[in-house]
Amino acid sequence: MTAADPFSERLRVLHVWQPLEAGVPRYAWAAAQFQGDHGWDVHVACPNPEPHHDVTTHVWSSERNPAKGLRRESTRLRNLVAGIRPDVVVAHSAKAGLVVRVTLRGALPTVYVPHAWPHLALARPAQPAAVAWERVAARWTTAIVAVGDGEAEEGRRRSIAAPITVVHNPVPPGWAPASAADRGRARRDLALPHGPIAVCIGRVSRQKGQDILVAAWPAVRAEVRDATVVMVGDGPDLPQIEAVAGPGVLFAGASTDPRPYLAACDVAVLPSRWEGLSLAMLEAMASARSVVVTDVSGSEVVGAAAGGAVVPVADPEALAAAIVPRLSGRIDIEAEGRRGAAFVAQFHEFDTEMTAFAAVIAEAATTRSEM
């Protein structure tokens, strides 16, 4: 196998993940399908597998909480590995990364994709323990794949010693810039109100920061009186967010296809508290929408593209100050959208990044002969 053609030899690969929603399973399914389509013998272990062409699925019941179910999850994983006999195991996100590395302890080549470092989700006093775990687990990790430059920098800054390779999150297939005609049609189809519209797409949770956007919205409405923000998604924090939302905040619920909402909006807002590299952000940029994001890992893409604004985390005033000039017409959001779409088409192309991910896995497989 070569870096240019990671599929020149057939590998048996097992992908393992726990999250049931949002970007992690979307990425992992896409990667597994891509590798299966290119001739690898690909297996998936997750809590809710669905039939996929050229991918063999296995149920791996697991809980998001790292303190729950560890022994049972490890036993099930060990049995799966014994039956599948993979050349490489790929662990996606924190819980799978924990169970896979505690169970295998380097006995098989292991690739870990954090999709946002787990310590970022914790209160500051708890972060050192999570970082210490990642440093220990690095000895059982053949390669770490960071989905963005910011994520890689965070890992190196924290002295996580396993080799870290950046493979940028790609824009999934099927995304294209939305035109002015698309905007009008989508607003009619979705029965959205007249006036400037912002959209926030994501799981309604502390991570995604919808509470910060709701807190910012009165200041936006004070300057742009007919502005509306549409929250697209479901999640554990939805009841609390709905309870405090004021005028101009609409809740659309979960959507299996957010493209119409991005087509309808003027600006996409992603007020996350932490990320790896947000797929929702890339999809908004691919739709040629100006974006307002917080200064988390992955936000460097917006700055490099000049595709919108990057504001401090958990700062409603700064968030409102970036949204207002874009909804009031004082900033050329169409130009920002065009620049963003061009950037992600060049640097986040699906086949290119998925081939690069496969190359990391193929390289990891070469270490098996050394074990």
Q: What pLDDT score does 20 carry? A: 66
Measure the CA angle with vertex 46, ends 74 and 142; round to 5°: 65
CA distance between the termini of the chain: 19
Phi then psi for 338, rounded to 5 degrees? -65, -40
pLDDT tens for residues 85-122? 999 999 999 999 999 999 999 999 999 999 989 998 88
Q: Which CATH number fits domain 12-170+349-370: 3.40.50.2000, 3.30.565.10, 3.30.470.20, 3.30.70.2340?
A: 3.40.50.2000
Q: What pLDDT score does 356 carry? A: 97
Whole-angstrom distance, CA of residue 216 vs CA of residue 323: 9
Residue 2 — pLDDT band, cuts 50, 70, 90?
very low
169, 235, 185: which is closest to 207 by C-alpha?
235
E runs forming strands in 105-258:
110-113, 143-146, 164-166, 197-201, 228-232, 249-253
Q: Say whether 180-347 and 12-170+349-370 share the same fold.
A: yes
Domain extents for the chain? Answer: 12-170+349-370, 180-347
Q: Which CATH number fits domain 180-347: 3.40.1010.10, 1.10.10.10, 3.40.50.2000, 2.40.50.140?
A: 3.40.50.2000
Averaged over 229-253, what is the pLDDT?
96
The whole-chain average pLDDT of the chain stands at 93
Q: What pLDDT score does 24 carry? A: 86
pLDDT tens for residues 13-58? 999 998 666 788 889 999 999 999 999 999 999 988 888 889 999 9
Q: What pLDDT score does 1 carry? A: 42
pLDDT tens for residues 134-164? 999 999 999 999 999 999 999 999 999 999 9
Instruction: Say whether pLDDT at 64 is over 80.
Output: no
Q: What pLDDT score does 63 carry? A: 79
Instruction: Say whether pLDDT at 3 is over 70.
Output: no
Determine the residue type at 101. R
Instruction: Say whether pLDDT at 369 is over 60.
Output: no
